[in-house]
Amino acid sequence: MISNEPFIKPEKDTNTLLQSIDTVSQSNSDIELQETTFKFNQIKILNDKDKDNIKDDNKYQQAKVQEEFDIEIPIVKTPILERVKSRLGFILIVSSAFIYSIYSLLIGVVVKSGMHILEIILLRTVIGLMGGIIFLLLIGENPLGDKSKRLILVFRGISSTGSMVCIFYTISVLPLGDAIAMSCSTLLFSGVLGSTILKEKWTKTYSICTILSIVGVFIISKPSFIFGSVLGAFFQSVSNVFSRKIGKDTNPFIMVVYYQSIAMLILLPVCLILNVWRAPSLIEWFYLFCMGVLGFIFQGTANRAFQIENVAKMSPLTYTEIIFTYILQIIFFKESPDLFSIFGSICIILCAFVSPKEKRLLLSVRGLFGTFAVASVFFTFTVLPLSDAVCVSFTTPVFTAALACIVLKEKWGYIDAISTILSFIGVGIISKPSFIFGSSVKQDSSEPDSGLRFIYISIGLIGSFFSACAYVAVRKIGSGTNALVMVSYFSSVAILLTLPASFLLQSFKIPNLIDSLLLIGMGVSGLGYQAFLNKSLQKEKAAKASAMSYTQIIFSLLMEVTILKERPDLLTIIGTLIILSCSIFAFRK
């Protein structure tokens, strides 16, 4: 694979280099290729058959001719299936977190029906055990597993049973979201146990994550501390370490069978002694059956994830359970988490975001600028007429081009400058702002006075400047960081800054179904917009990429005509044609 470095020392000559590139392309014709341009400094040295003469500087004068040129080089990428396989541990752990959140919801439902917690655990374990044994027999696996691994499988089963009992108890006495959030303090122990028992590295990053996790747990507990969930988290971390110790060659569902067998052996006599048994109703049997199936799948996927990946690295990703669980709690139990619970959960969730060390500061800066930009632009849309707010927000490409020229030393040619300015003029013609076209254009009756208007427009311009800073930061980060990692940082910073502000400025309101669907649509489309924008800024000059964003106006007008059945006027058509022409020209260039 050709190194993705800004400078690559060429081979003997240009022809040899190009031949090697052609060979790579032909040998990987079925592999996804991506072409990118690198600059090479090719030094041509006069050939001499007698290389020994080079030692004598008096007999041989070495001539160098340096020239700079561009070469299109295909970067060989890993096939999609191979990339999925390399990230299998992460995919499995997030999937198990989602399944576990549904599983926890069912626990809460059954607990509210009046069944004793020990009876719930016992019946759920029996159902899961029966299903697990049948599944392993069907795929030809011995449910007892490898003889040499049985002792450690037993120890893992004991620790998992302790974890399950403690966490089930906590769910029965705490709000569902708080209980799951506190149980995610597993990272406190996984890093320590992984480094001491498995000799895995416990880096500064994981230390910071541990501190954040401690803070999050204390905030959620407020401060009447319930130790059941934390004790369950400790047992779970022991179980995770055992899973890693067992190794990849043991089927993860064999671990589940051992764990459920031990849980049944421990809980059955306890239930009989305490006399907590009662016959479940039909609907309770259904819930218990679902819990058994989901628990079996959750345990299997989580075990596999911990078998193939570092324990300390996988543990933070289990915190995605918190997000899923709070959503389900709001939807089904109508219980909205308070500010302390949300803030504490954010502290814990932040532990999951691990990125290249040298890029974290830039990623955080990009998230900070992006948050300020979004807040400023949204504010101007609420206080200014729509046309004025749109026009002000589209000054971003002008700021971006100037900053990229200063900070990144990117060339901003006169043709690019003319295209950007003409596109901005096109936006002005379409939006017809009142500060240019006067009061003849119909405006909202609630339009602010001139003094406030100047302040609002200034805030919008500041937001555009922050957007430009975010774009330049993305360009500076480079193509080595996944675009979705940038989106994650931006979203995390935005949550940290806006969540406390939203609670301080107004009371939290649970959205209705229509609002929820609209918010989900905004979230999904916003994710796609941010991901593609970040990727384009990684691949193209900041000035050109941001100027192409003017095409948003064209797409908006098309939707306005086709969906809202509103016809554009002559000025709108002229402005659209100007933007379209500049975009096509920039694309062809």
- Burial group, residue 244, by CB count within 10 angstroms (0-12, 13-18, 19+): buried
Domain end call among 328, 354, 380: 354
Is residue 87 situated within a structural domain? no
Same domain, residue pair 350 and 408: no
**Contact call for residues 348 and 217 (beta carbons, < 8 A):** yes
**Distance separating alpha carbons of residues 323 and 315, to the nearest angstrom:** 15
Same domain, residue pair 159 and 187: yes
Q: Are strands 64-76 and 33-45 parallel, antiparallel or unpaired?
A: antiparallel
Same domain, residue pair 406 and 270: no
**Distance separating alpha carbons of residues 453 and 435, to the nearest angstrom:** 10
Residue 64: strand, helix, or coil: strand
Is residue 421 situated within a structural domain? yes
- Phi, psi (rounded to 5 degrees) for 107: -60, -50
Same domain, residue pair 272 and 367: no
Closest CA to 561 of 550, 549, 576: 576
Same domain, residue pair 456 and 577: yes
**Contact call for residues 293 and 131 (beta carbons, < 8 A):** yes
Domain end call among 57, 81, 105: 81
Is residue 265 situated within a structural domain? yes
Same domain, residue pair 71 and 117: no
Question: Can you give the pLDDT at residue 548?
Answer: 67
Is residue 223 situated within a structural domain? yes
**Contact call for residues 367 and 493 (beta carbons, < 8 A):** yes
Same domain, residue pair 460 and 484: yes
**Distance separating alpha carbons of residues 233 and 319, to the nearest angstrom:** 12
User: What is the C-alpha end-to-end distance of the chain, expressed in Å?
Assistant: 30
Q: Give residue for tokens 């003409």.
A: 422
Question: Can you give the pLDDT at residue 124?
Answer: 75
Alpha carbons within 13 angstroms on the beta-carbon side of residue 381 total: 11
Question: Can you give the pLDDT at residue 98?
Answer: 76
Token reading at 266: 């421990």
DSSP 8-state symbol, 316: G
- Burial group, residue 504, by CB count within 10 angstroms (0-12, 13-18, 19+): exposed
Is residue 518 situated within a structural domain? no
Number of domains, the chain: 3
Same domain, residue pair 196 and 295: yes
Question: Can you give the pLDDT at residue 577?
Answer: 72
Question: Can you give the pLDDT at residue 306?
Answer: 67
Q: Spell out the per-residue pLDDT of the chain, length 589, in tens.
A: 444 444 444 444 445 544 444 444 444 443 333 333 333 333 333 344 444 444 444 443 443 333 333 444 444 444 555 555 556 666 777 777 777 777 777 777 777 777 777 777 788 778 878 877 887 888 888 888 878 888 888 887 787 777 777 767 776 666 665 666 556 556 556 666 666 666 666 666 666 666 666 666 556 655 444 555 566 667 767 776 777 677 767 777 787 788 778 888 887 888 888 777 777 888 888 888 888 788 777 777 776 776 666 655 566 566 666 667 766 777 776 666 666 666 666 666 555 555 555 566 777 777 778 778 878 877 877 777 665 666 667 677 777 777 777 777 777 667 667 766 776 676 667 666 665 666 544 444 555 566 677 777 778 778 878 877 887 777 777 766 666 567 667 766 777 777 666 666 665 566 677 777 777 777 777 767 777 777 777 677 666 666 666 666 667 667 767 776 667 677 767 776 776 666 556 555 5
Task: Identify any residues that bridge with 68 across adjacent strands, giving them in sequence order.
Answer: 41
Give the domain extent around 57. 14-81
**Contact call for residues 75 and 34 (beta carbons, < 8 A):** yes
How many H-runs (helices) and E-runs (strands) does the chain carry?
A: 25, 2
Same domain, residue pair 67 and 103: no
Domain end call among 354, 386, 404: 354
DSSP 8-state symbol, 564: S
Give the DSSP letter string of 28-53.
TTTS-EEEEEEEEEEEEE---S-GGG
**Distance separating alpha carbons of residues 538 and 477, to the nearest angstrom:** 8
| CA dist 164 → 101, 161, 173, 234, 298 (Å) | 14, 5, 15, 11, 13
Same domain, residue pair 161 and 268: yes
Alpha carbons within 13 angstroms on the beta-carbon side of residue 558 total: 7
Token reading at 365: 């800066």
Is residue 391 situated within a structural domain? yes
**Distance separating alpha carbons of residues 453 and 459, to the nearest angstrom:** 10
**Distance separating alpha carbons of residues 272 and 276, to the nearest angstrom:** 7
Amino acid found at 116:
H
**Distance separating alpha carbons of residues 148 and 359, to the nearest angstrom:** 44
Closest CA to 143 of 290, 263, 295, 261: 261
**Distance separating alpha carbons of residues 583 and 395, to the nearest angstrom:** 16
Token reading at 582: 């500049």
**Distance separating alpha carbons of residues 178 and 170, to the nearest angstrom:** 9
Is residue 521 situated within a structural domain? no
Same domain, residue pair 401 and 479: yes
Torsion, Cα of 372, 373, 377, 383 (10° steps): 30
DSSP 8-state symbol, 12: S
Is residue 9 situated within a structural domain? no
Give the DSSP letter string of 134-190.
HHHHHTT--TT--GGGHHHHHHHHHHHHHHHHHHHHHHHHS-HHHHHHHHGGGHHHH
**Contact call for residues 233 and 185 (beta carbons, < 8 A):** yes
The mean pLDDT of the chain is 66
**Contact call for residues 297 and 99 (beta carbons, < 8 A):** yes
**Distance separating alpha carbons of residues 52 and 68, to the nearest angstrom:** 30
**Contact call for residues 181 and 344 (beta carbons, < 8 A):** yes
Same domain, residue pair 74 and 119: no
